[in-house]
Structure 1
Amino acid sequence: MLSFVFPHLKPVLRAYTPAISLAIGLFAIGTSASADVDLPTLGDTSSVTISPQQERELGKQWLRAYRSQVPTSSDPLVIDYLEQLFDRLLPYSQLQRKQIELVVAENRTLNAFAVPGGIIGVHTGLLTYAKTENQLAAVLAHELGHLSQRHYARRLESEKNLMVPMLAGMLAGLVLAANSEGDAGIAAIMGTQAAAQQARLSFSRQNEQEADRIGMQTMIEAGLDPYAASEMFEEMMRANRLNRRPPEYLLTHPVSERRVADARNRAMKYPRKAYPDNLEYQLVRARIRANQEETPQIAARMFKSELDRESDSPDASRYGWALALSRSSQFDAAREALAPLLEKDPTRVTYQIMRADIEITAERYKAGLSILEDQLKKHPGSYPLNVRYAEALMKAGSYKESAEILDRLSRKRSNDDYVWYLLAEVNGLAGNILGVHQARAEYFILNGVYDRAMIQLRNALKLTQGNSYQTAMLEERLKYTQQQMLNRGF
């Protein structure tokens, strides 16, 4: 049964398939060069190797394999914030298809990656290293630059003989890195890349330069700070000096003093001005920082200490303090800590969700549900509010109402495996066995566990005899799943 502990962390399914690992698309190791490289738009040359449609299929299969092996965040506030930031960047990117699939690994290390087919991965640790929203956006815009120029396809064109061992090892390394503090992942990545590194060094320099240049242009057009790229590079170099091992991100995106200078020189073409930070970023960052502490009590002391010594973002520190107090079952203290924020900004949805979370965690379900219902009247399309409301209804024993909300949400977010996970749980509690099998099947499909998905679909078919429409739908889904299982080796 689902455990209602915030933050949410989906269970990791162990269904690793080596063939699927060939879909990985991290970008090359190398060092930066000193000048901008104006490469032409990628044309038919790389398309001979891999088409955009093939890239999307590779990306879909890779994402399913990755999800099955890596603890991923399903905190709706974190997911919603990152999706909104991408929504701000994507219209100004050079991607022809302005869509991405986001996966957030619950890991404290500094890492982000791009995979062919529009997949962007982010470690939660990246948000603790990026001190401002603009610094985070600089990293994400850089990854969009890699995707828009299809660097994956261009690398395959020049490295066909090394493709299989390199890509298989890189997926294994990413999975290891996301399941640990990074040592094992680094060893796997560096071991498989050693043979190919020299052959592609100069090409990867061009990749990084191009992604830097395009990423900065995306930032500027989106109204974000062009100087944030050099600031984030400096944060990475500082992390590299302070740690006994380099962050995973620096293995595939090396940063040097020259690269920092190049980024700063590009930014100097534009007037320097103040860019106020987004408080919502700092609130999400506080959630992640609270999650990374060993206990809520330690997190509470950390945030209280920040408040006592004049925090850089006092509202975020206070929010983190209230969050940690609630998780420590100090509900009166949590309400008291949150009160000044509610008085200062009563319309902020993030504060209202925190207010409801305190009541729900304290098992005051009526009060918590009332807060969420009031907010949903004002923001009916809010993803975090809908997820929280469904979770709260489930915990309060209102299974049918929770299932109705999740069913609607699953139609809007059919690729959201956490929604399917919740729907399977609540259908089970409500006694809807057919619904359990259907939701579990979708969850397993999104995690690449096709054999278990087929078991669920066959079980569902046994319950739809006499209903020709439902039977036809399930049979079609079963055929799709069988085909996916056959094709997963490419």
Structure 2
Amino acid sequence: MAAWQSGCRECIDHWQRSLHSPQQRRSQALSKICNGSTPVSKLIFLCIIGLGSGAAWSQDIALPDIGASADRLISPEQERRIGVGMMREFRAHDLVLEDPLVNDYLRGLGYRLVAQSERQDDNFTFFMVRSDDINAFAAPGGYVAVNVGLLHTAETESEVAAVLGHEIAHVSQRHLVRAVESMQKVSLPILLGMVGAAIAAQSAGNGDGTQAALISGLGLMQQKSINFTRDNEYEADRIGIHTLYRAGFDPDAMAGFFSRMRGATRVQGREQPEFLRTHPVTASRVSEAKNRASAIRQQPLPVAIQPQANERQFQLIRERAHVLNALRPNELVEFYRGQIAAHPNSSLEWARYGLGLAQWRSHQFAAALATLQALAQADPNNPLFELPLAEVETELQQAPSALKRLQRMTELYPGNRAVMLGYADQLIQTGTAANGALASGLLRDVLNRSGDDPAVQSAFARAAELSGQELRALEAHAEVALQTGQLIDAMAQLQRLLRNPKIDYYQRARVEARIAQLTPYILEIQRELGKTTPRVGRS
């Protein structure tokens, strides 16, 4: 592990020399690492703090002898910290699609599989990455990422579930942890490639290229840490197919998706999808997956655990993620119109939904209103239609109608995160203290269930400000900074809050606990800066 750290240091030193940076500039660059400035800086930060966290946070951990348990190599708590750190980095660069409807769908799909897996008590976090590359990956701590590109390429819900089942198996079997020793051999070259690609893209002024290098490199890092041994990949397939079947999905979907990816690349001569580079698929592996699916079908499941895939919802969510991730939604307006015109005798609900969303994102609000209203009339009270309708009504200065619509939805779907967040946002936009208090109450209930959501924290901060809850607003703003990788900024906000004479006993206890959690990270950052460590904690 020491050799790996040394290699990371050489990587950092090479980066500094290539930019001809003096010590002062180096300190400034590393300061930006903590506050989300550039993708290149974030890569270096991951090298020091995140991906090397097993060494950075526990210097005394030594690699075990062959055959030692995974728990001796890295504890579940260390896994969780690595995963949390990775998530913060992704959020710091807006690489996470923070849409509650999409996220709730992915979480529901993921936990439907977890409920039938070998590790039903494990905590998982499923999230959508803003990338058109066809890929998915698992990270320590139960984090499972799916790229928007993979969701959009999938033809059925079972195909997405198959990929999730495979990644869940990697986590449940602790393949990531068992591969830490081999990471010493592969991590540095990958990091160097990531840094080089990101620097090249940034030097050329290519923001999209820099983001792509970061996403691709991090996904590759996580999958390379598994080292793609035959045993690990086949084990993940075997367990994933079993989980897929028990959860009520098509067990042939895994082999079908793999085959389609390989076939499209071979026949059309396209560049190999990121998924195949990070999940090498051979003909024999596809064949074995097919045989396993055929065999497992001979094991009938009890009727009580035979739910069906929801293809309609999948298609709508697929288009929603695609439109929300699009850089040029106006082009999608023409695409969806073409699809509808080419199939006049088909309802093509997914295309009409995509059209309405693309019109909304292209600021064609009147057209979006008509498109979405037609969908909502055919299926009243569907959050997928009602929430964007409220957004469009707000843009058209029809706020009372939007507020009434969202209030009705909260009565139909009490506790639904997407609905509550939409209603709270609308209440906040009214600008009244009474509605701010109502919104903060709604969001407090949501935070009790999902406090690690920066969108909810940010909305709660605005609601608290509006209703005069100054200290709660300050605490929520600090949480947003923390969850999006702005560690030093979060620490500064927490320290200021702690000095506020109005803080009560319970809030002081929460803030002090947060500062205690942050202090080791800040100390590590300051050591890398080469500065005299500032005082952290109570002042």
Task: Tell me the TM-score normalized by structure 1.
Answer: 0.82
Which residue does the alignment assign to 2:75?
Answer: 51
Residues 107 and 179, structure 1, Cα contact 8 Å, conserved in 2? no
Q: Which moved more, 1:442-451 or 1:378-387?
A: 442-451
Alpha-carbon distance in 1 for matches of 2:197, 2:80? 20
1:79: Cα distance to partner? Answer: 0.6
Residues 245 and 251, structure 2, Cα contact 8 Å, conserved in 1? yes
1:223: Cα distance to partner? Answer: 0.6
Residues 24 and 62, structure 1, Cα contact 8 Å, conserved in 2? no
Higher RCO (CA 8 Å, separation ≥ 6 residues): 1
Counterpart check, 1:235 vs 2:260? yes
Distance 1:61 1:105, change over 3 A: same
Counterpart check, 1:266 vs 2:303? no
1:19: Cα distance to partner? Answer: 1.8
Counterpart check, 1:220 vs 2:209? no
Residues 173 and 187, structure 1, Cα contact 8 Å, conserved in 2? no
CA offsets, 1:227-262, max 9 Å, x none? 111221133224534575332222220123332222
Distance 1:415 1:184, change over 3 A: closer
Gaps of 5+ in 1: 1-10, 26-41
CA offsets, 1:259-298, max 9 Å, x none? 2222222222255999665211111111122234443432
Counterparts of 1:59-138 in structure 2 under 5 Å? 59-95=83-119, 97-138=121-162
Distance 1:191 1:114, change over 3 A: closer
Looking at CA atoms only, which structure, 1 or 2, has the larger radius of gyration? 2
Distance 1:439 1:372, change over 3 A: same
Residues 110 and 125, structure 1, Cα contact 8 Å, conserved in 2? yes
Which residue does the alignment assign to 1:162?
Answer: 185
User: Size of the alignment, in residue pairs?
Assistant: 458
Which residue does the alignment assign to 2:10?
Answer: none
**Amino acid in structure 2 at the alignment position of 1:267:** A
CA offsets, 1:442-468, max 9 Å, x none? 122223432111110122123234734
**Amino acid in structure 2 at the alignment position of 1:474:** V
Residues 337 and 355, structure 2, Cα contact 8 Å, conserved in 1? yes
Which residue does the alignment assign to 2:276?
Answer: 250
Distance 1:474 1:308, change over 3 A: same
Residues 133 and 150, structure 2, Cα contact 8 Å, conserved in 1? yes
Counterpart check, 1:303 vs 2:327? no
Distance 1:175 1:465, change over 3 A: farther
Distance 1:459 1:243, change over 3 A: farther
3-state SS, counterpart of residue 103 of structure 1: strand
Q: Which moved more, 1:384-393 or 1:180-189?
A: 180-189
**Amino acid in structure 2 at the alignment position of 1:281:** F
Which residue does the alignment assign to 1:30?
Answer: none
Which residue does the alignment assign to 1:283?
Answer: 316
Which residue does the alignment assign to 1:38?
Answer: none
Alpha-carbon distance in 1 for matches of 2:244, 2:456? 32
**Amino acid in structure 2 at the alignment position of 1:345:** D
1:404 to 428, 434, 441: 441
2:368 to 314, 324, 334: 334
Which residue does the alignment assign to 2:455?
Answer: 418
CA offsets, 1:182-238, max 9 Å, x none? 874599689999xx99xx97x611111111111000000001001111221133224
Counterpart check, 1:19 vs 2:42? no
Which residue does the alignment assign to 1:5?
Answer: none
Residues 107 and 125, structure 2, Cα contact 8 Å, conserved in 1? no
Which residue does the alignment assign to 2:515?
Answer: 478
Q: Which moved more, 1:359-368 or 1:270-279?
A: 270-279
Which residue does the alignment assign to 1:325?
Answer: 359
Alpha-carbon distance in 2 for matches of 1:360, 1:284? 22
Task: Tell me the TM-score normalized by structure 2.
Answer: 0.75
Counterpart check, 1:359 vs 2:393? yes
1:89: Cα distance to partner? Answer: 0.6
Which residue does the alignment assign to 2:23?
Answer: none
Gaps of 5+ in 2: 1-34, 55-65, 202-206, 299-305, 529-539
**Amino acid in structure 2 at the alignment position of 1:94:** E
1:428: Cα distance to partner? Answer: 4.8
Q: Which moved more, 1:119-128 or 1:350-359?
A: 350-359
Distance 1:165 1:381, change over 3 A: same
**Amino acid in structure 2 at the alignment position of 1:87:** Y
**Amino acid in structure 2 at the alignment position of 1:404:** G
Q: Percent identity of the aligned residues?
A: 31
Counterpart check, 1:391 vs 2:420? no
Alpha-carbon distance in 1 for matches of 2:468, 2:232? 53
